[in-house]
Structures are given as structure tokens and as C-alpha cells.
């Protein structure tokens, strides 16, 4: 039994490492594919083994997905860049990678330490919080919009992408609406911008990570605090939660922001387990797949899944950091060739999984992503495609 679980944990780590390096292959999509194959696999594999595979894959994916986020098709307009892309443009991509991995590891340990208290607090408070969840999402959306300099343009992007999300979620021909929707909004549009602007990435410097412990605690705490919102409020993204709680973070600098943003994903991965045990509600795609296979999670299963996640993060960190020179060689490939290959790959993948309707959603959302760039508002506002439908569902 133990040997079998170890084998599937290793398989999950390898799968997370591989799929994380493929742009557009979100962890939720891969988990759904595994769940679709479950009727065949369960003839020879236990449900708990598949759950361990999915958990270790989700944790491994947190680390490996940093590579395409960092080094593929960074747009030329530095004013609109995320902190990690600014660092890449300055030749500090390796340092940004190290900072984000540090944020994930610190966020993992802080989340696990907080998990017992979180489960007790959620179980006690949720009956009182539940009627107000819709208003909580509304408040987050209002804070997100009021933080913007171009409030009219920000509201336009938020509500238009929200309407797009409502239409896509209610299109029965689309089985996995988030895949073509988010790939178009954030992936295809960014790749096209990189092709249009012919951005050339500078040679990345091998810089040693040097962050004092005091500078780690506060941003990671803010990230874990944001992760609690994601674990409770359906539809809230890391970017949206980080934008709200990040206003409290007085420390400046790209490294501090990266620590906070990367720890959010780790917190959501582990605290979502606590949400399911306390409330019976799954708040992300991986957990939906795991709890479909294992409908009841007890303390023994929780410890096993947390352990698989920690090992997945640790093993993938070792692989990624020790092979960073190989990832940097990818940057020697002409960006236009790499961009065209990625566009063809993502379009083909959407067509294979969702057909012509999926392609229509992909290219419509891609155009929305391009318009967002042209009117110079943050791309995080495009998460209205999820936030607005969820808010209306909770309020109406």
C-alpha cells in the first residue's frame, strides 16, 4: 500500500513538472482529464492513490509553471509589466525565479502551521459568513476597481469580461469553459503582444538570493491571508485577492510583491483542503477531482495529502533550480519562432478538447486581452470573467 502511494506520488510530481512547463496546461485541466479517465484507472488503482497523484501534481505544478510565466514572450511595455516580468527585462529572471520559489515554500509552511486553526475557525464562523459571501465578492471587486487610476476603463474591462464569462459558462457545448477563456485572455494575447513588439530578452544574470528574514514574513503572511479568502470565496483569483490585501503591504519592491503573490498559490493549495474537511466544499479544480475520488477526507487522508504536496514542492524545486541553465537556453530561441509555435499549440489543444466553439471562445477572449492592453489597465481586471458570474450567483 505504502509503496503504491509512493509510486503515484512520484508520477504526480513528474506530471506536474511536465505539464507546468507547457503554457496553457492549467493544473485544473489536467486534474479534470485524470478524473475523466478514473473509471478505467480505478480497476487497478485505488481512489486514494489517484488523489495522492493529483495533490502531488498540483504542488509540483506550482513550481514548474513559473518557467513559462517568467521567460516566454515578455511584452516590451515595461509600465504594464508584472513585477516578475520587470525583473526579467532587467536580466534578473533567475533571481525572480528564486524569490517566487522561496515565497511558495514559505507560504506552504505558514499555511500548514495555520491549517488546524483555520479549519476550526471556518467550521465555527461559516454559518454566519455564508449569507454575506456575495457581498464579500462585491467588496473585493469594488476595492479592485477603486485602486485603478483609469477607473472608467477599468470598469469597462471588468464588466465586459464578466459578460463574456457569463455567456461562456452558460454555453453547453463548452465542457471546460475556463480553459479557452483564460488561455485567450491571458495566454494568447500576451504571446501576440510579444510577437508584435518583437521583445528581445536580455541575458539573465546569475544573482544570489539575499533577503533578510524580516522582509519575508510580512509579504508571505499577506499572501497566506489572501489565500484564506480564496479558500472561502468561490471564484476569487490570486491576482484579485493579492490586489486587495496588497494595499496593506507598505514595503516596496518587486521582490516583496513576488513573495506575496507566489505564497498565495501555496496557501490556496493547502488551505482548500481545510475548507473541504470543515465545510465539505471544494474551491479549486484539483480538489474537486480529489474529493470526487475520495468523498470523505479524514485526518489520516489530510496528513497524507499534505505530505504529498510538501514532497512535490520540494522535489520540483530541486529539479528546477538545478536545471535553470537549461531553461535559460530556451531564451536563445528567437522569440517570434517560439511565439508562433505556442500559438499553434494552444489553438490546436483548444480545438481538440472543445471543438469549433472552443476556438470561438479562445479568439474572442484573446481580442478582449488585446483591448485591455491597448487601453493600459491591469490584466488582473480581466478576472471579472469569473468574479462577476460568481458574484451574481451568490447575490441573486
Number of Cβ within a 10 Å radius of residue 168: 21
Nearest to 5 by CA among 42, 55, 52: 52
The highest-confidence range among 160-174, 232-246, 285-299, by mean pLDDT, is 160-174
**Grid cell 480529489 in the structure block, residue:** 290
Question: For residues 13 and 56, what is the distance between their CA atoms, to the nearest angstrom?
Answer: 5
Res. 26: pLDDT tops 80 = no
Q: At what angle do helices 384-395 and 133-146 cross, to 10 degrees?
A: 140
What gap in Å lies between CA 200 and CA 220, rounded to an integer?
32
Q: Residue 245: is its pLDDT beyond 80? A: no
> Cα–chain-centroid distance for residue 291?
20
- Region 380-393: what's the mean pLDDT? 86
pLDDT of 76 > 50? The answer is no
- The DSSP symbol for 282 reads -
Closest CA to 90 of 248, 253, 223, 229: 253
Q: What is the mean pLDDT of residues 68-85?
A: 57
Whether the predicted model's global pTM rises above the 0.75 cut: yes
pLDDT value at position 306? 92
- Please state, for a pLDDT cut of 70, what percent of the chain lies above it: 83
Q: How far apart are CA 110 and CA 45, in angstroms?
A: 33
Residue 347 has pLDDT above 60, yes or no: yes
110-135 pLDDT per residue, tens = 999 999 999 898 888 888 888 888 88
205: left (phi over 0), alpha (psi -120 to 50) or beta: beta
What is the arithmetic mean of pLDDT over 47-74? Answer: 82
- CA-based nearest residue to 359, from 188, 210, 222, 225: 188
Please list, in sequence order, all residues whose beta carbon lies within 8 angstroms of the beta carbon of residue 115, skipping any fewer than 6 positions away.
270, 271, 273, 274, 306
| Distance, CA of 74 to CA of 391 (rounded, Å) | 32
Distance CA 16, CA 25 (A): 10
- pLDDT > 80? residue 322: yes
Classify 237 as helix, strand or coil.
coil
Q: What is the DSSP annotation of 346-389? A: HHHHHHHHHHHHHHHHHHHHHHHHHHHHHTT--GGGGGHHHHHH
Complete DSSP assignment for 78-92: GGG--HHHHHHHTT-
Assign 56 a pLDDT band (cuts: 50, 70, 90).
very high
Contact 287, 76 (CB under 8 A): no
What 8-state DSSP symbol labels residue 168? H
Evaluate whether 42 touches 249 at the Cβ level (below 8 Å): no
Segment 26-45 mean pLDDT:
73
Pair 15, 30: CB distance under 8 Å: yes
Task: Tally the residues of the chain.
Answer: 396
Distance CA 355, CA 346 (A): 13
Q: How far is it, in rounded angstroms, from Cα 108 to Cα 135?
A: 29
Per-residue model confidence (pLDDT) at position 364: 94
pLDDT at 386 over 90: no
Rounded Cα distance, 358 and 373, in Å: 23
- In terms of pLDDT, which residue wins out, 330 or 260? 260
* Whole-number CA gyration radius for the chain: 20
Amino acid at each position: 500500500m505504502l509503496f503504491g502511494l509512493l509510486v503515484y506520488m512520484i508520477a504526480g510530481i513528474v506530471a506536474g513538472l511536465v505539464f507546468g512547463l507547457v503554457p496553457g496546461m492549467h493544473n485544473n485541466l489536467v486534474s479534470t482529464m485524470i478524473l475523466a479517465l478514473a473509471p478505467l484507472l480505478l480497476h487497478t488503482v485505488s481512489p486514494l492513490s489517484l488523489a495522492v497523484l493529483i495533490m502531488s501534481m498540483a504542488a509540483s505544478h506550482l513550481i514548474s509553471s513559473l518557467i513559462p510565466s517568467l521567460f516566454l514572450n515578455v511584452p516590451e511595455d515595461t509600465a504594464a509589466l508584472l513585477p516578475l516580468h520587470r525583473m526579467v527585462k532587467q536580466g534578473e529572471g533567475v533571481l525572480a525565479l528564486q524569490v517566487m520559489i522561496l515565497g511558495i515554500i514559505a507560504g506552504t509552511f505558514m499555511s500548514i502551521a495555520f491549517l488546524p486553526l483555520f479549519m476550526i475557525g471556518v467550521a465555527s464562523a461559516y454559518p454566519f459568513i455564508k449569507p454575506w459571501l456575495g457581498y464579500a465578492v462585491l467588496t473585493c471587486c469594488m476595492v479592485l476597481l477603486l485602486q485603478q487610476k483609469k477607473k472608467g476603463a477599468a470598469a469597462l474591462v471588468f464588466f465586459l469580461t464578466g459578460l463574456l464569462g457569463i455567456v461562456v459558462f452558460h454555453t453547453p457545448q463548452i465542457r471546460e469553459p475556463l480553459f479557452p477563456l483564460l488561455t485567450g485572455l491571458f495566454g494568447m494575447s500576451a504571446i501576440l503582444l510579444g510577437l508584435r513588439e518583437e521583445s528581445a530578452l536580455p541575458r539573465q544574470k546569475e544573482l544570489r538570493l539575499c533577503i533578510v528574514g524580516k522582509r519575508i514574513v510580512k509579504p508571505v503572511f499577506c499572501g497566506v491571508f489572501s489565500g484564506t479568502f480564496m479558500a472561502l470565496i468561490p471564484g476569487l483569483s490570486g491576482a484579485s485577492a493579492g490586489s486587495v490585501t496588497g494595499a496593506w503591504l507598505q514595503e516596496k519592491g518587486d521582490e516583496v510583491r513576488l513573495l506575496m503573490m507566489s505564497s498565495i498559490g501555496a496557501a490556496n493549495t493547502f488551505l482548500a483542503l481545510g475548507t473541504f474537511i470543515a465545510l465539505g466544499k471544494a474551491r479549486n479544480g484539483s480538489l474537486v477531482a480529489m474529493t470526487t475520488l475520495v468523498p470523505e477526507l479524514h485526518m489520516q487522508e489530510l496528513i497524507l495529502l499534505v505530505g504529498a504536496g510538501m514532497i512535490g514542492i520540494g522535489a520540483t524545486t530541486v529539479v528546477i533550480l538545478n536545471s535553470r541553465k537549461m531553461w535559460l537556453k530556451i531564451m536563445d530561441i528567437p522569440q517570434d519562432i517560439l511565439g508562433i509555435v505556442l500559438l499553434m499549440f494552444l489553438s490546436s489543444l483548444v480545438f481538440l478538447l472543445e471543438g469549433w466553439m472552443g476556438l470561438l471562445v479562445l479568439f474572442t477572449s484573446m481580442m478582449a486581452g488585446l483591448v485591455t492592453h491597448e487601453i493600459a489597465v491591469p490584466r488582473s481586471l480581466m478576472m471579472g470573467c469569473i468574479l462577476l458570474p460568481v458574484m451574481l450567483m451568490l447575490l441573486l
